[in-house]
Each structure stands twice: as C-alpha cells, then as structure tokens.
Amino acid sequence: MSARTTLIYLDDSIDSGSHRVEVITLNYLKTALQDEGVAVLGFSTLEKALAYFEDPAHGCNLFVCDHNLWWGRESDGSYRYRFGCDFMSRLHETRPDLKEVGIIIYTDSPDYAYREWSQSAVAFAGIVPKYSEDNMKHPWEAMLDEIRHVLDREGEEGHTTQNL
C-alpha cells in the first residue's frame, strides 16, 4: 500500500451514533490504517459523495460500500440509489476513471447482496458481512483483513470480479 492510498466508505448509517457497527467500523479503519498511509474518508449522504467526486482530482484506490444505501429519496418515497450498486453504476457513468477501483460490499445480507450486485453492471472485489455468528472476528476486523487483501492485490489483472 502506498502513502497515497485513499479508501472511500459509503454508508447511510455512519452519522447515526457511535454504537452502530458502521460507525465503529469507520473509526476502526481510520485508526488501523493511518500508520499504513491509507486515508479513510466516509460519506453518509448522496450530496456529500457527489460533491467530492465532482472534482476529477478526487479519486480513490478502494471503495467500501453499504449494500443497502438508501440514497436519493424521491417525492413518491422511492429511492434513486436504494442499493450501493445503483449509486456505483451512476458514479461509473460520470467518472469512468473509477470503474477499475475495487469495491468491497459491507452488508447484513451477503447472499442477497451477492445476487443484487452480480445482476448489476458493477463489479466488486469482496463482500464482508456486518453480522456473522460464524465469524470469530468483529466485522470491522474482518473488513480490515479484506481491505488489506484487496489492496495487496491492487494492480493484478482481474482483481476486481463480478463473480467471486
């Protein structure tokens, strides 16, 4: 990992209180990765994420994206970007330079997320469950392991895959 590595964490729940797993994960990643030269930025709203990516100089080396993003509420109550893959698809249209950036999906429903993202045009590098009785690690520790794994493979051909 280089000193210029930037990770973008997209999740509607990271401003929701310090006890939530998403907030704990974001803070854990910031602390754990700072000595490795990784800047971790978190965006909890569509407006904040779009404002950041409007500047073509703003990029990243890796995304962590919530599966159930719930961004862009419409007047009829629906959401423009219900799922993370919906937002990433839109971002790839406006910023094609980000298409090759790996995406790790953070979800409470790994099987459903896998199906939803596999049906989209958005490739992903991994899926980390937020809650798992089988996992002996906290979800933020599992996320850190997956981030390190994906970043270590950065630059390898085919490191981002739609069909893991």
Quote the mean pLDDT of the chain. Answer: 89
- Residue 32 domain flag: no
pLDDT at 3 over 60: no
Q: Quote the domain boundaries for residue 134.
A: 59-154
- Residue 162 domain flag: no
3-state SS, residue 158: coil
The whole-number pLDDT of residue 18 equals 79
pLDDT at 144 over 50: yes
- Residue 94 domain flag: yes
- pLDDT-derived band at 25 (thresholds 50, 70, 90) equals very high
> Residue 68 region, left (φ>0) first, then alpha (ψ -120 to 50), else beta?
beta
- Residue 11 domain flag: no
- Residue 120 domain flag: yes
**Among the listed residues 64, 56, 19, 67, the one whose alpha carbon sits nearest the alpha carbon of residue 38:** 64
- Residue 159 domain flag: no
The whole-number pLDDT of residue 156 equals 59
User: What's the average model confidence in pLDDT over 40-50?
Assistant: 96
Residue 96 sits in a domain of what CATH number? 3.40.50
- Residue 103 domain flag: yes
The pTM score is 0.89
The whole-number pLDDT of residue 157 equals 52
Please tell me the total count of domains within the chain: 1
φ and ψ at 10, to 5 degrees? -110, 115
- Residue 143 domain flag: yes
- pLDDT-derived band at 2 (thresholds 50, 70, 90) equals very low
- What is the share, in percent, of the chain residues with pLDDT greater than 90? 78
pLDDT digits (tens, 9 = 90+) for 105-134: 999 999 999 999 999 989 999 999 998 766
